[in-house]
Amino acid sequence: DGKNNLAGVNKAAILVKRFGKHQFDYVGNSSADIPVWEKARKGVVVNASNRVLEDAKACVEIERVFKSTTKNDLYSWAKAFRFHQWMKNVLLFIPALASHQILSGLIINPLLLAFLSFSLCASSVYLVNDLLDLESDRSHPRKFKRPFATGDLQLWKGALFSPIVLIISFALAAYVNPSFTLWLGVYFVLTCFYSLRLKQLVLVDCL
């Protein structure tokens, strides 16, 4: 009703009023669900910690326990960062290769920093893009497997790590030179504009 938060004891009271004490089964996953399970006939525990599971067993008969089938975080983050897309930034090395200076310490060190900076910048945009496209990705025949769409990664993690990765990217760019930092900023603005607007325009997405 916009005033009362139906969680914990409030949720338990509403369910008892509607169905009666021990006249309903309840599915939960957190310590806030313990007061509800206490009033339930049976409980179902989904993707909860061992502590929550033990507390639930102590107050209600557990009908079934569902464990998470999500992949480990490292694998999910690798997919979210889209490391395979970093290969595009190998283009940064082409001038040094063409001029036969790739082995020069004065060239290769800033190039490696530039490559990492560009790649992290791209990954930060990928994270934001996946958060913005969450619903459309879930209905897409291929993109529904992305970590945020599947639930393998929690949304708040993407919202937290995207700006952190971006800050690291620009910090690395500052070590290269001001000109590179400027172009990285141009790249970031363009990719953001693409994610927010350009990809929604017919043919512009392909171009």
- Mind listing the pLDDT tens digit for each residue in 162-195? 999 999 999 999 999 999 999 999 999 998 888 8
Residue 26, beta-bridge partner list: 43
pTM above 0.75, yes or no: no
The Cα angle at residue 169 between residues 135 and 75, in degrees rounded to 5: 50
SS (H, E, C) 132-153: HCHHHHHCCCCHHHCHHHHCCC
pLDDT at 70: 54
pLDDT at 164: 97
pLDDT at 187: 93
181 within 8 A of 174, measured Cβ to Cβ: yes
30 within 8 A of 52, measured Cβ to Cβ: yes
8-state DSSP, 201: S
pLDDT at 107: 86
Q: What percent of the chain has pLDDT above 90?
A: 59
Average pLDDT over residues 38-43: 96
pLDDT at 68: 67
pLDDT at 202: 81
The Cα angle at residue 104 between residues 94 and 173, in degrees rounded to 5: 65
pLDDT at 145: 87
Torsion 126-127-129-135 (CA) sign:
positive
Helix (H, G, I), strand (E, B) or coil at 65: strand
Average pLDDT over residues 26-54: 92
Q: Which uninterrupted H or E stretch holds 190?
A: helix 178-196
Average pLDDT over residues 96-108: 85
Tokens of 165: 């990765």
Q: How confident is the model at residue 6 (pLDDT cuts 50, 70, 90)?
A: confident
Pairwise pLDDT comparison (52 vs 200), residue with the higher score: 52
Query: What is the CA 123 to chain-centroid distance, rounded?
Result: 11
